[in-house]
Every structure is written in structure tokens, then in C-alpha cells.
Amino acid sequence: DHSTPTNCPKMSTSTAASKTSSSSTTTSANDVLLYVPNLIGYSRVLFTSTSLVLMLSHSRLWWLATALYISSFVGDLFDGLVARRLNQTSTFGGLLDMVTDRCSTLGLLFVLAISYQDQLYLQLIFLFLCLLDISSHWCQMYSTAALGKHHKSEDGNEGRHFLVRWFYKYYYFFGYLCVGAEFTYVIAYVIQFTGDSPLHPILKALLWGFIPGCFLKQLV
């Protein structure tokens, strides 16, 4: 009960209005769950999960699996923008976004390891990429959290390798590395199904264009 006791001194009109306004703008956990960027996050989880299931169990639907995976990735580009535009940033949303990103990448690398099981060196590369992805992100999050800083903040990355600082400071560099890494994996999956189609040489050319970004992201 947040009502004012009758035996208390009367509050000024401005103070009462301030308290009423503050009370009316209180955000509940249910409100956060229904934030627009978090709704985008839930759709990303659904798209990624469905795409990975299709990749493993219905390879003939590779085109649908790929479309869903890319849709999830595109959602990652917009949920942060929407959160800031609508002033709906939240710790839960940040966690949902980060976990979805990591699980999506690791899931696709797992699919690739199975898809290329007749080529041991590729399986070892995909395994290494899985281990590097999860360990590097954990180290980045833990080290900046220990300083009380956000993992993408400039002061949180002060004194680190210039590639790390560039990655979080320059949006286009960040974008190329993220897109380069994800589309290297996506094309490595899709190219198995294109065979002699006219799309095959185009995908190979795109793959070589994305590989440098993927390589640099591993360095970061």
C-alpha cells in the first residue's frame, strides 16, 4: 500500500504530483518482457532454432533454413536501434541479444562440422572457431565487468590491442567483421547445395570477400 497516511503532514501539490508521476512511470518485469526490441529477440530465437533444426533434419529445405538464419541475423542489426529509439534498453534485452548471438554462431558451426565430416581439417577448424568464439566473448565480458565497465565502451577497452578498440569504436569496421564472419559460415553451408548452378561461382567469390572479415574477427 503506497497511499499517504492521514496523520502525516500534507505534501505540497508539486511533491504529490512528482510522486504520482514517478509511480505511474514505474516499469515492471512484465513490461520489460514485452519491450519491442525483446519481441524482436524472441523472434530471433525462434528463427535460429528453426533454421538449425531444418539444416540438420531437412537438408532439402536448405534455402528456407538459410533465409531464417539470415532473418535472425538481420534482427540483430535492428533490435539495438529500436531499443534506443524507443528508450527500451534493459539488462534482460542485452543478455537475450548476447546469448542468441553466441548460440546462433555456435549452432551453425556445429552444423558445418557435421556437413563437412569427410574433411577432418575443416572439422577441426570449426571446432577451434567454436572454442574461440565462446572463450573470447567470455573473457571480454568478464574483464570489462571486473572494471565496472560495459564491454563495448571506450574506457572499458582502454589500453587493449588496437583491433579490439577499433572493433568497438568504428561501426563500419565492427559491421564488416561481424557480417564477414557470419556470412562466411552461411555461404560455407549454402555452397554445398548449389553444385553446377550459376549461383555457385558467385557464392565462391562472395566467400573470398567475407573470409578476411571472418579472419580479423577471430583476431579481435
What distances in angstroms separate CA 87 from CA 32, 35, 84, 98, 201, one per listed residue? 11, 10, 5, 19, 44
Q: Which is nearest to 67 in space by CA: 80, 81, 48, 86?
A: 48
Q: Specify whether 79 is catalytic.
A: no
The C-alpha cell at 13 is 501539490
How many angstroms separate the CA atoms of 212 and 73, rounded?
Answer: 19
Residue 137 contacts residue 102 (beta carbons within 8 Å) = yes
Which of 76, 101, 133, 155 is the catalytic position? 101
What is the 8-class DSSP label of residue 89?
Answer: -
Residue 219 contacts residue 163 (beta carbons within 8 Å) = yes
Which amino acid is it at 30? N
How many angstroms separate the CA atoms of 160 and 136, rounded?
Answer: 14
- Enumerate the active-site residues: 101
